[in-house]
A and B are shown apart, each in its own frame.
Chain A
């Protein structure tokens, strides 16, 4: 992407709620916009570990869930503003990341992925049987705002802008990571751990850095979800689909790229909403089919994701005969 290429994108995202305000289904479109941003945040957070470092976690729901449960937990038990649970959720996530990271990073490739599934499912089952955490019923937030600090709005627009702010922060962090030694080391780890080590990369330590950064932001995404919906249960907060959605969105747009997760979310979330709306409640099982279809399409035609496709087109056009490209 060119130096200022992100500006039109930022402008479009800022203007979106206004642009659709005149439409008959303004509320619906604004709500979907907020959901797109939320999904983009989760996927971009997952992308730090799964994309840059190539460690495919299928257990990120546990961090999302920690972020979603804590705000509602502090309200349910102590009537505190859910907002206060957000840092708590992040802290819990970081601890879980450390505890889970040390043993699982001994595993590589598919074994690591399977271990993350196992741990996340274990967490889901434990939470689902734990009355303090609402067991199978889940937790609820305040029904009515007691003050601004409850962050309850009737319209989706305030959420939209809060999510947009968080996404901007996350993308800024990811961009800094990409450019720094951390980013180069993570990509080296993904490309070949043995070679990375031979060049002085402390592989396990850097994987842990990536996991903690990734878990922290995933947990923030979970918290935003809980603040907006005011409800979480083991399936919506900790279910395997939560993890799978992050992976598919990142992979669709381009895992390991800065804007891939956002692009993936812009495509997948409306697609999901459409299938659910058009086919009514009975269509909810279709989510699985859509996910499966997307996985097959990516795996078969463009493992690098859509941004890779675009990148290749542009490179092909730029690299016409007689024009030698150098690293800028």
Chain B
């Protein structure tokens, strides 16, 4: 087991953003995480990535309890993540952005630069490598976030709507990129609204609603689950058998 989150809860005052969610990910998997807006997916992600400490529950990565450890410790252990709102370093060049990631495993500048150049090539950002990140549009920034995390040498990548806002063509290229990253042996957990991405990449999907995992299984089965349809569309659409 690469990652296991057990009964993770995060409360903001009396609001339970995440109310006891479990997630177990095997090395080499691609797991999808879906659910309506406000279901708690991002907060759950932030708990796993160490961005916020869970109110209760446990997060274990590769046998090490990382619950409540700072985000930088998660990164060092091999948990990489992207942000729902791209958080690129806009004043720095694209290559320098990627180098910040690469420095984690390559403290020397020359090696970090070589690594960053490889990653920039692989992620298709080579042509723009010398431009400031702030010049990129949303698709480019999302791609840069992926590149930056990749350069940091993760074993697990948490992608928070990394493909949202892309055109159909860009989505196809992004799916290919994620496949290539997966082929490197990196485990992926992706939060995504675009079903095309979920259906073409993942074999296993968890559905979040109101802070709970309400369903899990193969993507095709899950999307037909009445509880899931109800979560998305409201009562009355979940089938007549209720």
Whether A197 and B70, one on each chain, are in contact in the complex, defined by CB atoms closer than 8 angstroms, is yes
Q: Mark A159-185, 1 if CB is under 8 A from B, else 0.
A: 000000000000000000001110011
State how many angstroms separate the Cβ of B72 from the closest Cβ of chain A.
Answer: 5
Contact for B89 among A181, A192, A325, CB less than 8 A: A192
User: Which residue of A179, A190, A199 is within 8 Å of B101 (Cβ)?
Assistant: A199
User: Chain B residues with Cβ under 8 A from A326's Cβ?
Assistant: 126-127, 129-130
Q: A188-B92, A195-B83, A199-B100 are in contact. List 13 more A-B contacts (CB 8 A).
A: A185-B100, A185-B103, A190-B91, A191-B88, A192-B87, A192-B88, A195-B89, A198-B71, A198-B87, A199-B101, A202-B70, A324-B127, A327-B95
Residue pairs across A and B with Cβ atoms less than 8 A apart, 8 shown, are A181-B103, A187-B96, A187-B100, A191-B91, A194-B71, A197-B71, A198-B81, A199-B100
Partner of A201, one of B49, B100, B126, B130: B100
In contact, A327 and B93 (Cβ under 8 angstroms): yes
- A-B CB proximity, top 9 nearest: A200-B75, A191-B89, A327-B130, A195-B87, A200-B104, A197-B71, A327-B129, A181-B103, A188-B100
Query: Which B-chain residue is minimally distant from A203 (CB atoms)?
Result: B72
A317: shortest Cβ distance to chain B, in Å? Answer: 16
A192-224 to B contact mask, C-beta < 8 Å, 1/0:
101111111111000000000000000000000
B129 to chain A, nearest CB (A): 5
Shortest Cβ distance from A305 into chain B, in angstroms? 12
Residues of B within 8 A of A194 (CB): 51, 71, 83, 87
Residue of A nearest to B49 (CB): A198
Hey, which chain A residues are within 8 Å of B76, CB to CB?
Answer: 200
CA gap between A224 and B104 in the complex, in Å: 38
Interface size for A (C-beta < 8 A) is 26
Whether A181 and B107, one on each chain, are in contact in the complex, defined by CB atoms closer than 8 angstroms, is yes
Neighbour of A197 across the interface among B75, B92, B101, B109, CB < 8 A: B75
Q: Which residue of A lies closest to B117 (CB)?
A: A327
Q: Which residues of A contact B186 (CB under 8 A)?
A: none
A residues bordering B, Cβ < 8 Å? 179-181, 184-185, 187-188, 190-192, 194-203, 256, 324-328
B75: nearest residue on chain A (CB-CB)? A200
Residues 86-127 of B at the A interface (beta carbon under 8 Å)? 87-93, 95-96, 99-101, 103-104, 107, 109, 112, 126-127
Contact of A188 among B51, B89, B130 (CB under 8 A): B89
Q: Report B170 CB to chain A, min CB distance, Å.
A: 22
Contacts of A202 in B (CB 8 A): 70, 72
Q: How far is the CA of A324 from the CA of B130 in the complex (A)?
A: 10
Give Cα A111 to B228, complex, Å.
45
**Is B146 among interface residues, defined by CB-CB distance under 8 A?**
no
Task: Give the Cβ gap from B58 to chain A, nearest Cβ, in Å.
Answer: 21
Distance in angstroms from B86 CB to nearest chain A CB is: 9
Name the distance in Å between B114's Cβ and chain A's nearest Cβ.
13
Chain A residues, Cβ within 8 Å of B96 = 184, 187
A199 B130 Cβ-Cβ under 8 A: no
Query: Closest approach, in angstroms, between the C-beta of A69 and any C-beta of chain B?
Result: 37
Contacts of B127 in A (CB 8 A): 324, 326
Residue in A188, A195, A197 whose Cβ sees the most chain B Cβ within 10 Å = A195
Judge whether A200 and B72 touch: CB under 8 Å. Answer: yes
Residues of A within 8 A of B70 (CB): 197, 202
Residues on A with beta carbons closer than 8 Å to the beta carbon of B68: none
CA distance A325 to B127 in the complex (A): 8
Residues of A within 8 A of B148 (CB): 199
Let me know if B149 is at the binding interface, CB within 8 A.
yes
| Chain A residue contacts of B88, Cβ below 8 A | 191-192, 195
In the complex where A194-B87, A327-B93 touch, is A199 in contact with B99 (Cβ < 8 A)? no
Separation of A256 and B96 alpha carbons in the complex (Å): 15
Q: Is B152 an interface residue (CB 8 A)?
A: yes
The answer to whether B152 and A179 have CB atoms under 8 Å apart is no
Contact between A199 and B129, CB atoms less than 8 A apart:
no
* CB closest residue in chain A, given B93: A327
Taken together as a complex, chains A and B put the C-alpha atoms of A186 and B81 apart, in Å, by: 20
Contact between A191 and B92 (Cβ–Cβ < 8 Å)? yes
B219 within 8 A of A: no
Contact of A184 among B100, B126, B149, B152 (CB under 8 A): B100
